[in-house]
């Protein structure tokens, strides 16, 4: 796929994640326009990616590019779609990164624009190790799908899934890192009190976390068998509480982000 220009509607965290991933593999296009309503957010993006052209309140300019990433939270999307409808080029590709807004609803708001994809990326895309499920609008030309998938796979794994599953992935794989990172940070801090330097603690924690995932994928054991490999479980008495915290927090949020 040729280097097509990028437009970002919303220049926040997920824009930085995706741009970081593309830059890391040398696949930044010559022309990138990022629009946001917040000047500080644009300044932060430009500090990291000086090649990006900032567009304050410039969704229409961003929408004239060849690949347009819709990188807004769901409540901001309706108005943004009204703004950009006239600016989208007939052969542009719109990639929505948001939950809740279905392909059908996006297309309807855009007057039937057919070339829409949804992707739920995750933060490891920054280092090209993301897990980013993708769903295409039915009207998206079938013969062009593999081409855009090949391009998106620069960011990591991009399984094609049925659209109804995207919000479940948002809960598990997009927000998933936030469930673990703070616990790793707490462990690193405890490592300090146990006599490890910060570097020693983080090195051990990262290796342990990678290994804990690797064993799930590669041992051939079931999750139950793996969890039984270590008999001393200092948090065992708290597990029920932690599991109920997961249920109490995640189930209502899933209901909220799921399309109605
Ligand atoms: N970050 C991730 O890892 C991740 C992963 C998967 C999916 N996503 C999805 O990606 C979308 C964006 O998330 P994010 O993490 O990038 O959030 P973010 O860091 O908050 O960035 C969103 C940006 O959009 C700006 N904005 C609000 N209304 C706008 C408008 N009408 N036009 C242009 N810009 C506007 C926001 O400004 P204000 O803050 O001033 O409102 C903010 O700077 C969300 O739907 C999220 O669910 C994110």
In terms of domains, do 242 and 115 share one? no
Q: What is the mean pLDDT of the chain?
A: 97
pLDDT one-digit tens code per residue, 181-212: 999 999 999 999 999 999 999 999 999 999 99
**Predicted pLDDT of residue 1:** 58
Spatial separation of the C-alpha atoms in residues 219 and 211, rounded to whole Å? 11
Instruction: Convert the pLDDT of each residue in 116-167 to its tens digit.
Output: 999 999 999 999 999 999 999 999 999 999 999 999 999 999 999 999 999 9
Residue 168 lies in a domain: no
CATH number, domain with residue 126: 3.40.50.720
Q: What three-state secondary structure class fits 121?
A: coil
Same domain, 27 and 153: yes
What's the rounded Cα separation, in Å, for the pair 155 and 19? 10
Cα–ligand 1 centroid distance for 47 (angstroms): 18
Domains contained in the chain, number? 2
Interatomic CA distance for residues 131 and 128, integer angstroms: 9
Distance (Å, rounded) from C-alpha 52 to C-alpha 61? 13
Looking at the structure, tell me whether residues 111 and 65 fall in a common domain: yes
Question: Reduced to 3 DSSP states, what percent helix, strand and coil does the chain have, rounded to the nearest 5?
Answer: 55, 15, 35
Residue 170: inside a domain: no
Domain interval for residue 189: 176-257
36 CB near ligand 1 (under 6 Å): yes
154 and 181 within one domain = no
Question: Does residue 15 lie in a domain region?
Answer: yes
Instruction: Please indicate, yes or no, whether residues 131 and 184 belong to a single structural domain of this protein.
Output: no
- 29 and 147 housed in the same domain: yes
Q: Pocket of ligand 1, candidates 72, 120, 169, 170: which has the most ligand atoms within 8 Å of its Cβ, to mutate?
A: 72
More confident residue, 260 or 184: 184
């Amino acid at each position: 796929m040729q280097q097509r220009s990028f437009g970002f509607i919303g220049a926040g965290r997920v824009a930085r994640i995706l741009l970081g991933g593309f830059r890391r593999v040398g696949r930044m296009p010559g022309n990138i326009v990022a629009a946001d309503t917040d000047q500080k957010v644009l300044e932060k993006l430009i500090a990291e990616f000086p090649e990006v052209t900032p567009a304050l309140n410039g969704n229409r300019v961003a929408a004239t590019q060849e690949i347009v990433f819709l990188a807004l939270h769901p409540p901001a999307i309706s108005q943004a779609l009204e703004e950009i409808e006239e600016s989208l080029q007939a052969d542009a590709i719109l990639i929505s990164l948001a939950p809740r807004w279905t392909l059908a609803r996006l297309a309807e708001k855009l007057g039937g624009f057919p070339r829409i994809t949804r992707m739920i990326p995750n933060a490891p895309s920054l280092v090209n190790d993301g897990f980013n499920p993708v769903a295409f609008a039915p009207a998206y030309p079938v013969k062009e799908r593999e081409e855009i998938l090949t391009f998106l796979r620069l960011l990591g794994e991009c399984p094609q899934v049925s659209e109804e599953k995207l919000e479940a992935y948002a809960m598990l794989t997009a927000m998933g890192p936030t469930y673990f990172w703070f616990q790793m940070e707490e462990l690193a801090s405890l490592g300090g009190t146990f006599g490890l330097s910060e570097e020693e603690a983080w090195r051990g924690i990262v290796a342990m976390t990678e290994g804990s995932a690797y064993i799930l994928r590669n041992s051939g054991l079931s999750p139950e068998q793996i969890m039984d490999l270590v008999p001393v479980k200092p948090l065992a008495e708290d597990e029920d509480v932690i599991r109920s915290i997961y249920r109490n927090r995640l189930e209502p949020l899933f209901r909220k982000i799921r399309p109605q």
